[in-house]
Amino acid sequence: MEELAAVLGSVGPRLRALRGEHGVTLSELSTTTGISLSTLSRLESGQRKPTLELLLPLAQAYRVPLDELAGAPETGDPRIHLRPFNRYGRTFVPLTRQMGGGLQAYRMIILREEDMSEQPAHEGYEWLYVLAGRVRLPLQ
C-alpha cells in the first residue's frame, strides 16, 4: 500500500515537469486534453488523485507511455517494458534485456533512405532480417 501511495504521490511533480519540458501552459493543456484547468492544477499540486480517465489524455498529449507518466514500478518482464529509442535516423525497439555484452536483439524501423546519412561501424557481427520493404546494406 505504501508503494501505491508513493507512485500516486509522484505523479503531480512528474506532470508539472512534463508540462515544463513541452513548454505548454495549463490553459493550453486543458484545451488539448479536455481536462478542466482547475483539475490539471490540482493534479500537479497533488491535491487530486490521478485516475486512468485523467492520465490517458495526458499521456497522449505528452506522447509518453502511461507507465512512464504514472511512474509505475518495473515488473521485471521485458515484454512489457520495451522502450524504443532513436539513433542514426532509425527507431530501435529492444527485444532483449541488455546484460552488458553478449547477443542483443532489436527491431529496427527505417522510414526512408534519407535517414541513413550516419553509418555507425563497430567490430562484431550484425544479423538482419527484413520484414517489409527493401534495404540496401553497404559493407565496409
Per residue in 38-76, pLDDT (tens digit) is: 999 999 999 998 888 999 999 899 988 887 787 766 555
Q: How many domains does the chain have?
A: 2
Model confidence at 77: pLDDT above 60 = no
Query: How far is CA 134 from its chain centroid?
Result: 28
The verdict on 59 and 81 lying in the same domain is: no
pLDDT value at position 66? 80
Rounded CA separation 58/18 (Å): 10
pLDDT exceeds 70 at position 115: no
Strand pairing category for 90-94 and 106-109: antiparallel
Domain of 51: which CATH number?
1.10.260.40
The predicted model scores a pTM of: 0.53
pLDDT of residue 70: 77
Domain coverage including residue 43: 2-70
The three-point CA angle 12-65-19 to 5° equals 40
Please give the grid coordinates belonging to residue 92. 530501435
Q: CA separation (Å) from 48 to 31, 43, 137?
A: 19, 5, 53
Q: What is the pLDDT of residue 15?
A: 93
Entry field: residues in the chain:
140
Pair (61, 86) in one structural domain = no
Whether residues 139 and 107 fall in one domain: yes
Residues 32 and 83 in one domain: no
User: What is the band of 10 on the pLDDT scale with cuts at 50, 70, 90?
Assistant: confident
* Mean pLDDT (whole number) for 93-107: 72
55 exposed, middle or buried (CB, 10 Å; 0-12, 13-18, 19+)?
middle
